[in-house]
Amino acid sequence: MKVFSEENQVLYVDYQFTWKDALQRFLKREKNPGFGQILGLKDRLKIFPHEKGGKLCLLTPPPIIPTNFLSQGALYEALHRWNVKRVNRAIRKAMKRLNMGEDTVLINSFNPDFGAYSKDELPHSVEIYHCYDEIAAAEWAAKHGAPAEAQYLAMVDATVVTSAGLLKTKSPQTPQCFLVKNGVNFDLFHSGYTEEPKAPIIGYVGAIDFRSDYALLEECFKRYPEYEFHFVGKVMEERIEEILKQYPNVKLLGSKPAKELPAFLKTCAVGIIPFEINEFTKGVYPLKINEYLATGIPVVSTRFGELSDFESIVSLHEDTEGFAQSLKWEIENDTAAKRQERAQFAKLNSWYGRVDEFSEIINQLENSLNGSESATS
C-alpha cells in the first residue's frame, strides 16, 4: 500500500478487531491502534502524505462481534450482516471526508466473507478481489470462507491472485483473473545484506502456524545440534510452541516490526521455508522468499507450490532428507558472489514492479468497463 500511495490517495482499512480483541489490547496496553482509537474515542482516520503527491489514509474500523466460531445459520447471518454494515458505515464516512466517490477502485484483500455481504454498499467504479491464499484449506475460515469466496468471486469485476496455483483454481469462478506475484521492499531488506561470514544460525520469519512441516523441522533440530534455529513471528498454536520448546537449539524470538527484520536476517546463515506440501500451500507465494534473498542469504525451502521462478537461486526439496542436507551444504558453500546474485534476483521482484503490473490491470478494467457502459447507453 505504501508504494501505491506514493502517487495516489489510498484508503487502507485496517484489521477488523472484535470486542474481545479490543479488550485484550487494552489489558496489554497495546498501541497502533490503541484501545481509544478502536472504540472511536480518538480519530479513527490517520493520514500520511507522501512527497510525490499521494497519501496513505489508515482507517481503524469499529469493533465487531466475533462470529467465525458460529455455524452457518440465522444467528450467524444476522450478526455478520450487522458487523459488515457497521464497518461499511465507518468506511463511507472516511470516503466522504476524503472526497472519494464513484471513481474509487475498491480492492478487497482476502476478506471475501466481508465482500460477499457488501454489495452496493460502497461507491466504486471497479471492484477487485485480491486473493493470496487458498481459503478453502485455511483453518480459521473453515466454516464460512469457501462459500463466501465462491459467491464473491462471481460478484467482482476481476480477481488478482499471487500464485500460479491460485490462478488455476480461481480463474473458472470469476469474470477475469490476473496474476501479480508478491514482491519485496528491496531497499529495506537489502539493508541487512552482508558478505561477512556468519554463525550457523538458521532463520525463519513469519507466522509459526499449521503451514509448516514440524516432523521435518524436528529432524533438522536433532541432526544439527551445533546449529541454532531462530524463529521470528507469532506462534499460532500451543501445540506448536510445545514442539519447538523441546529443543535447546531452538529460539522463539516473538514478532518483530518489519523495520527490524533486516538486522535479524543479517545474523542468519540460511533462511528457511519449511512448509508442508498440501492443498493449502500449493497456492502460496511467500513474501519471505524475496525478503531472504534481498539480504543475500541462501534459502532452503520445500517444493510446496509453483516455485519454478526460483529453481536457479533457491534450494528446493520434496523430502526431509534433501532439505536437511541442503542446510549444511548451503552454509559450507556460500560465497560473496552467490550473495550478490541472490540480492540482484530479489531486486527484480520489488514492489515497484508489482504495483506497475497491478496498475496496468486497473487501467485495463476501467477502460473495459467504461467501454461497456458507453456501448449500452
Predicted confidence at residue 321, as pLDDT, reads 98
Q: How many CB atoms lie within 10 A of CB 104?
A: 17
How does pLDDT run across 221-277, given as a tens digit for each residue?
A: 999 999 999 999 999 999 999 999 999 999 999 999 999 999 999 999 999 999 999
Cβ-Cβ contacts under 8 Å for 334 (sequence gap 6 or more): 269, 297, 298
User: What sign results for the dihedral spanned by CA atoms 13, 15, 16, 21?
Assistant: negative
Kindly list the structural domains of the chain, giving each domain's residue range(s) and its CATH number in brackets, ordered by start. 4-183+353-373 (3.40.50.2000), 186-347 (3.40.50.2000)
Kindly list the strands in the beta sheet with 158-161, ordered across the sheet, starting from the edge strand earlier in the chain.
105-109, 126-131, 158-161, 177-179
Predicted confidence at residue 34, as pLDDT, reads 84
Is the pTM value of this prediction over 0.85?
A: yes
How does pLDDT run across 170-197, given as a tens digit for each residue?
A: 999 999 999 999 999 999 999 999 988 7
Predicted confidence at residue 370, as pLDDT, reads 76
Q: Are 5 and 22 spatial neighbours (Cβ–Cβ below 8 Å)?
A: no
- Separation between Cα atoms, residue 314 and residue 75, nearest integer Å: 48
Residues of the chain with pLDDT under 70: 1, 137, 140, 372-377
